[in-house]
Structure 1
Amino acid sequence: MFKQGDSHQLTLKWRSMFAGFAAAVMLMPAVAMQFTDEVAWGAEDFSAAAVLLGGVWLAVEFVLRFVSGAANKVIAILMIAAAVVATWAHLAVGLY
């Protein structure tokens, strides 16, 4: 279905899309803090977001490299996304 070069192109697209997404996630609160007092992130908040996004990056890279089968990859990535959303929500409401 895919040739080896196609897989490499998909990997490059995934990496660039995720890098853009991660940059947007990190920039949104920084920009919002300039306009409102409702957003008040500190260094620890930005660090936690960076660690969480970096962990997602590593986990998805692991799945793409070592999990076989398209359905298994999709399931694993959805599980990673669910774990990240749950973790982000817990951190957002202060359940450390």
Structure 2
Amino acid sequence: MLLAFPALGTAMSAEVNWGAEDFAAMALMLGLLCAAIEAALHFLATPMWRIAGIGLGVLMFLTLWAHLAVGVFN
């Protein structure tokens, strides 16, 4: 569902110009975020560590997303 919004934006407006590589990168990032959350819930024992692990995964996702959004990694 999260990838449907940029697809609609690409179809409806010239301001949103995602290519196939952009959709692949975002799908990979979302998949890795889901895997990190599942791993944190499965492998970490206490709720405090689980929250910290999930928070770290979300923070890494948002950091990479921000870097890709401004073109740091071209």
- TM class by shorter chain equals over 0.9
For 2:35 and 2:53, how far apart are their aligned partners in 1? 13
Task: State the match for 1:41 in structure 2.
Answer: 18
Measured on the aligned residues, the alpha-carbon RMSD in Å equals 0.8
Taking CA–CA contacts closer than 8 Å with sequence separation of 6 or more, which of the two structures ends up with the larger relative contact order? 2
The number of residues matched between the two structures is 73
Unaligned runs of at least 5 residues, structure 1: 1-23
Of 45, 66, 69, which residue of structure 1 is paired with 2:46? 69
By percentage of residues, which structure has more helix?
Answer: 1
Q: Which has the larger radius of gyration?
A: 1
Structure 1-normalised TM-score?
A: 0.73
- After TM superposition, list the pairs within 5 Å mapping 1:15-94 onto structure 2: 24-94=1-71
Q: Secondary structure at the match of 1:25?
A: coil
Structure 2-normalised TM-score?
A: 0.93
> Cα distance, 1:25 vs. partner?
1.6
